[in-house]
Chain A
Amino acid sequence: GAGVSQSPSNKVTEKGKDVELRCDPISGHTALYWYRQRLGQGLEFLIYFQGNSAPDKSGLPSDRFSAERTGESVSTLTIQRTQQEDSAVYLCASSLVQGALGNTIYFGEGSWLTVV
């Protein structure tokens, strides 16, 4: 597709349930990011995939959070046993890495998660 596609755009779930968020990056982009943004807050880095390298998971807030990516395609972010503090917009972004420069990243519209 022309841009980063995320689904669902909105999700309301009950506390304790698991949720899965999907991201389809721009075709050919080797790098993929997940960020979380709580209401009125800045971007919080969660995880970074770059090609076939081991992902940088340093931003995942707890072991309830996990993410997968198959090759250079779709990624899923899974939150198990959701808590109310997980309510946020989850932003996916991708970039075409060109050496140390040119790694402009493009964001999807986000998945708005509300845990009730």
Chain B
Amino acid sequence: QKEVEQNSGPLSVPEGAIASLNCTYSDRGSQSFFWYRQYSGKSPELIMSIYSNGDKEDGRFTAQLNKASQYVSLLIRDSQPSDSATYLCAVGGGSNYKLTFGKGTLLTVNP
């Protein structure tokens, strides 16, 4: 059974701070990793994808992947109240292409 675990939260940070979201996965053959953002009452939307070890930056977002440790993280710099949402980690690839989601971490950015 493939598992994806996220820090349960909720996570609360002040505006302007760095928010750090973490995710571990059980399937060592996983090859694709995604972060989705979900606002309350809305469907998930993709914000970052990463496939190789190291960091990937996109604006205020940085995804970090360490396949040896089976760990992927998302850093949000200069957090804004509009970043307040649930962040979902998803893992896929390997023996099949199905994505497995974590349960999500609720982030609140306080003005």
Show the binding face of A for B, using Cβ within 8 Å. Answer: 31, 33, 35, 41-43, 45, 48, 50, 56, 91, 95, 97, 100-110
Contacts and interface: CB of A to CB of B under 8 A. Distances in A.
Majority DSSP secondary structure for residues of B touching A: loop
Interface of B: 31-32, 34, 42-46, 49, 51, 88, 90, 92-94, 96-104
A102 B34 CA distance: 10
Nearest to A100: B93
A104 B51 CA distance: 11
B104 A42 contact: yes
A22 B68 CA distance: 40
B43 A108 contact: yes
Nearest to B92: A103
Contacts, number: 60
A104 B100 contact: no
A106 B97 contact: no
Contacts of A102: 32
B88 A103 contact: no
A42 B44 contact: no
Of A31, A43, A45, A50, the most chain B CB neighbours within 10 A belong to A43
Given A100-B31, A100-B32, A103-B32, A45 B97 contact: no
Contacts of A45: 98, 100-101
Contacts of A103: 32, 92-93, 97, 99
A37 to B, nearest CB: 9
A74 to B, nearest CB: 18
A107 B45 contact: yes
A97 B90 CA distance: 15
A33 B99 contact: yes
Contacts of A33: 98-99
Contacts of B103: 41-43
